[in-house]
Structure formats: C-alpha cells, structure tokens
Amino acid sequence: MAADRHFLKQSTIGASSAPLSFLLFDSIAAILFAAGLAGGVVAVPEGLAGMAPWVLLALLGSLLRSVAVTLAARSGAARAGIAKTKLRGRIVAAAFRHPPGGSSTVGVLMNAVVDEVEAIDGYIARFLPARYAAALGPLLILAATACASPIAAAILVLTLVPFIVAMALAGGAAADESRRQFEALPRLSGLFADRIRALPLLLAFRAEASETARIGRAADEVATRTLKVLRVAFLSSGALEFFAALSVALVAVYAGFNLLGLLPFPVPEKLDLFRAFFVLALAPEFYAPMRRLAAAYHDRQAADTAAGRLRAVEEHVPLPVAQKPLVDSAAPAISFRSVSIGYAGGAGPAVSDFWLEIAAGETVALVGPSGSGKSSLLHLLLGLAPLTAGSIAVGDTRLEHGVSIAAIAAWVGQSPLILPGTIRDNIAMSKPDASREEIAAAVRAAGLGPLLLRRRCGLDGRLDERGGGLSGGERRRIALARALLKQAPLLLLDEPTAHLDSAAEAELIASIGRALPGRTAIIATHSEALASIADRIVRLGVPA
C-alpha cells in the first residue's frame, strides 16, 4: 500500500499546487459574498443607493467564485493530462519490455495503458486540489466567522467532530468496497479484450457459449460490487449532508435567538443584524471544501487501486538500458564463443557451449530438430533471449548488455507480424520513409507481384490484425519484403518457408537467394532445400 502511494506520488509530482490556490480563492470569495449579502440586508432601509456597494461586493464575490472553480477545473485537467501522458509513456515502455509468454496478457496490459492510467485523472484534477482546499479553506471560513461571532465559530467546530468521525467511517467502508470494484473492472476488460483477440479460435472450437457465460459472470461481479460501492456512497453522503445541515441549522438558531435576545442562557456576545447574517451566510461554506473532498474521495480510491496494478506492470521487467546502436553498412562477421542461453523457468539451457564463426558476407543455415535452439540463437542476436555464458561479437563489437544490432539487422520471425493497415504500411514498417520505388523493389525481390495483381487495391489493400485474407506464404513474403526493404547488411530468417508447399517454397527460396549477395545471413530452417542455398550448414542437436 505504501509502495502504491509512493508510485502515485511519483506519478503526480508537481500536479497539485496551482489548483490548490485557485480553490482557496473560492473560500476567500465566499467570505466576500457573505459580507456583501449581510451588508446589503442591513442597508435595505437606506434604499438602493445604500445597498449598491454591498450588492456589488456580493456580485464580485460570486464572480470570483465561478472564476476560481473554473480555473481550478481547467488547470487540474491540464495537469492531469500532462501526468497521464508521462505515466502512459512509462507504462507503454514497460509493457513492451514484458517478456512474451509472461503472466500479463495483452488484455491486461492494454487495460493498464488505457483505463488504469486514466484512473489517476480524477485524483490529480479533483482529489488533490480538493484535499488541500479542505485543509485550509475551512480554517479561513472559521477565522472570518470567529471575527464576527466566536460562539458561532465554536458551534461550527463542535459539529465538525461528528462530521469527521462520519467521514472516516464512511471512507474506510467505501475504500474496501471500491478496491474490490476496481479490481473486478480491469479483470472484466482484460478478459473481454483477450477473448475478442481469440475470437476465430473460440468460433472454431464452438466455445462461444462458455466464454460468453464467463464474461457474463465477470460482468455480474462488477455490477454487484458497483452496487455495494453505491450503497456505501449513498449512506456516507447522507451522513455528511446531515451534519452539514445540522451545523447550519444550529448557527441559524443561535444567530436568530441572539439577535432577538431570546437565548435561554447568557452569552458573552450580542450580535447585530450584519454579524448575524454574515455568520449565517458563511456556515454552509465551512463544510463546502470538505463536501468537495468527500465527492472526490472515489477518485483517490480509483487511483490507489490503479497505482497498485500499474506498479505491477512496471515491476519485474528489466530496466530500460540506453542502447548503443551498431551502425555499419558493411556485412559483418559474427562469432559465437561458448554461448549458452538459459530461459528463466526453463528446465535446462536451451543452447549450451555453442561455437560458430561466420565470415562477413557468408550465409549460414542452422538446421536441427525442434527445440534445438535455432530461434533462440537468432533471438539472442536481437536481444530477445538471455545470454547466460560465453560471448558474441558482431564485426569488432562484442554484443554486451546495451548494444543493439537493430540498426544493421533485418529479421523475419517465425510468425510474421501483420498490423492492421495496408500492405504498403506493413512492408514500410521497417523503413517508414521508404520511397515508392524502394517499396516496389522490395515487393519484386520478395516475389509479392502475383499477390498484388490478384488484389484490386494492390499495395493499398487493407489487412486486419490477423492478416486475414492472406495465405501463410503471402504473409511470409510480406515479412520478407519488409526485411529486404531495410537493406540491412545482416539478414536473420527464422523458418521463412515453414508450412509452404514445394512450389511456393521453391519460389520463396529463389527470392531469398536473390537477396543474399552482399549480406551476412543466418537462416534457421527445417528445410533441406532452403539450407542448400547457404554457404554452410550448421547442425544443432537438442541439449541433453
């Protein structure tokens, strides 16, 4: 809990000072308004001319109040916007560092980035300014009241005690219920997002009914918890309103009886009409900042719960290291020396004591049974797999922590990534500023021509996020075109011809063969046909 608060504080640094002063103006303006109102009532016998300055003072007070509240809302929203943008940047960066296959699903991460960051909006825009105003505003009102009537001020202080007790009790009860509700909400959104992503699978396995029931149960849980929160919130606001109304009533009775001299006990002060009206007009203002705080309390609970979950997204992922990019346009030599790769949670090393010297411009095919570590070796070069022993050098540079070969490498992974957008967007991902000619050359080199001819919109044909409407071979060609467009001197291909029939495989192998000259390439494959275009075949075995 303390760590969550610290996280929240860190995320909202500097976000509260200006709204604080704006909301304090509201209390100051309320004093002016009360003085104007009391003066105006007293001046009624003097007619309009006598009342005018007091009426003007009251108008000025109300004007200042609306300006103060508007400025507080605007500046709170602006500060919340800045804090959310910063926090969202941090959480997105942390989400990208989450290892694939980790405990956080895409739905949970999406929910954290979108909804949970949003939960700190109310905390910064409303709760923080209300908290500071609630600490200082009532003191200002109390001081002004005490100047006019110390006994009225004492009545306000006395009613404050049960008010604070009621607030603390209601706050505690509401906090637990709110926390439960805020925990159920992201669970529902995460579940929903993950099921939407897996929709084709659910339809294929006819699991719609069971998954709909599961989402229904999660939605019911949120609804039940929300009702509990509302019940506590209504009860607590009822209690707050009762004590606020009681204090106003007591001050009104006291001021009225004092004014008329009807009090059944002696008091050390005698109020005049101005002072009686003044304290009466100020009494509701004493509670106004605290009622504002009570209304914003829900925002604090939302932010507290969100902070815990956001902290969990940021924790347990490696800290970002400043990456020193390798920049070199010549095909590099690569050497693996006694390399071992061990995944956290893996039974043993995925690769152990692996030695390989690859000459500049050479193409090496890594061949071996499933699980022998071919993909892991490519991932190691890309910084996606952990080096547990040994060393790797690319050209003259040792690939240590913080050195990235991203700038000189083009990679085609085992499951080519397709993003929603056009075929052109998907290819140009590796070089966003590529010219039409460069894209056309990459398309030709990857043998994508026949696909584009079949599509009415050619390169502008739209793809959904699952690459719907594309065959496995077409997806691999798009990924290859993307890799070739980059014109990187190092090509890393992970089973680029998997799942293709022999004709499609032969075409793709020819395309790859055309791209190899002038580059160093490592191709992980099960295909002897693809391996045969390499300069050298390295066979791996499954580690014991």
Ligand X SMILES: Nc1ncnc2c1ncn2[C@@H]1O[C@H](COP(=O)(O)OP(=O)(O)OP(=O)(O)O)[C@@H](O)[C@H]1O
Which of 324, 311, 259 has the alpha carbon at shortest distance from 6? 311
Q: Give the nearest distance from C-beta 397 to ligand X in angstroms.
A: 24
Is 103 near ligand X (CB under 6 A)? no
Output 50 or 368, the one with its CB closest to ligand X: 368
Nearer to ligand X, 289 or 413 (CB): 413
Nearer to ligand X, 45 or 345 (CB): 345
Residue from the set 192, 257, 274, 343 that interacts with ligand X by CB under 6 A: 343
Alpha helices in 351-471 (DSSP H): 374-382, 423-428, 436-445, 449-454
**Minimum gap (Å) between residue 445 Cβ and ligand X:** 25
Backbone angles phi, psi at 206, to 5 degrees: 50, 45
How far apart CA 395 and CA 333 sit, in angstroms, is: 5
Would you call 422 helix, strand, or coil by DSSP?
strand
Spatial contact of 132 and 23, defined as CB atoms under 8 Å apart: yes
Give min distance, CB of 368 to ligand X, in A. Answer: 6
Q: Which stretch binds ligand X (CB under 6 A): 71-79, 221-229, 344-352, 425-433?
A: 344-352
Q: How far is the CB of 424 from ligand X (least distance, A)?
A: 30
Beta carbon of residue 108, minimum distance to ligand X (angstroms, whole number): 18
Could you say which residues in the range 468-527 bind ligand X, by CB under 6 A? 524
Best CA proximity match to 22, nearest among 169, 125, 121: 125
Distance of closest approach, residue 106 Cβ to ligand X, in angstroms = 16
Question: Which residue bears the tokens 């007619």?
Answer: 47
Nearer to ligand X by Cβ, of 191 and 366: the residue is 366
Q: How far apart are CA 97 and CA 91, in angstroms?
A: 10
The nearer residue to ligand X, 361 or 368, going by C-beta atoms, is: 368
Nearer to ligand X, 309 or 374 (CB): 374
Q: Which of 235, 28, 63, 276 minimizes the C-alpha distance to 141?
A: 28
Cα–Cα distance, 20 to 137 (Å, whole number): 10
- To the nearest whole angstrom, how small is the minimum distance from the Cβ of residue 203 to ligand X? 27
- Best CA proximity match to 379, nearest among 406, 346, 352, 408: 406
Nearer to ligand X, 107 or 373 (CB): 373
Q: Whole-angstrom Cα distance, residue 534 to residue 520?
A: 11
Judged by CB under 6 A, the chain residues 367 through 426 that form the site for ligand X are 368, 370-376
Site string for ligand X, 291-330 (x = CB under 6 A): ----------------------------------------
Q: Quick check: 346 binds ligand X (CB under 6 A)?
A: yes
Q: Which residues, in sequence order, are bridge partners of residue 325?
A: 404
* Size (the chain), residues: 544
Of 55-63, 263-271, 322-330, 342-350, the window that binds ligand X (rule: CB under 6 A) is 342-350
Q: What six digits make up the tokens of 493?
A: 């291909």
Q: Quick one: 303 or 377, whose CB is closer to ligand X? A: 377
Per the CB < 8 A criterion, the answer to whether 429 and 484 are in contact is no
Whose tokens are 């495989």? That residue is: 505
Sign of CA dihedral 48, 54, 60, 62: negative
Q: Minimum distance between the CB of residue 194 and ligand X, rounded to whole angstroms?
A: 19
What's the min distance (Å) between Cβ of 467 and ligand X? 20
- Total number of residues binding ligand X (CB under 6 A)? 14
d(CA 191, CA 217): 11
Between the alpha carbon of residue 38 and those of residues 22, 93, 335, the distances in Å are 25, 58, 88
Which parts of 517-536 interact with ligand X (CB under 6 A)? Answer: 524
Window contacting ligand X (CB under 6 A); options: 89-97, 272-280, 338-346, 459-467: 338-346
In the bound state with ligand X, the residue whose beta carbon lies nearer, of 338 and 435, is: 338
If you search the block for the tokens 């010549």, which residue do you land on? 330
Phi, psi of 429 (to 5 degrees): -55, -35
Q: Quote the CA–CA distance of 367 and 504 in Å, as a whole number.
A: 20
Tell me what percent of the chain is helix, strand and coil, each rounded to the nearest 5: 65, 10, 25
CB of 91 to ligand X, least distance (A): 22
Specify the residue, 12 or 376, whose C-beta has the smaller distance to ligand X.
Answer: 376
Structure tokens at 8: 């929240």
CB of 345 to ligand X, least distance (A): 6
Which residues inside 73-102 make contact with ligand X, applying CB under 6 A?
A: 101
* Site track 348-367 with ligand X (rule: CB under 6 A), x = hit: --x-----------------
- Give whole-number Cα distances, 309 to 300, 304, 315, 411, in Å: 14, 9, 10, 34
Q: What are phi and psi of 490, to 5 degrees?
A: -125, 125
Cβ 346 to ligand X, closest distance in Å?
A: 4
Contact residues toward ligand X (CB under 6 A) are 101, 343, 345-346, 350, 368, 370-376, 524
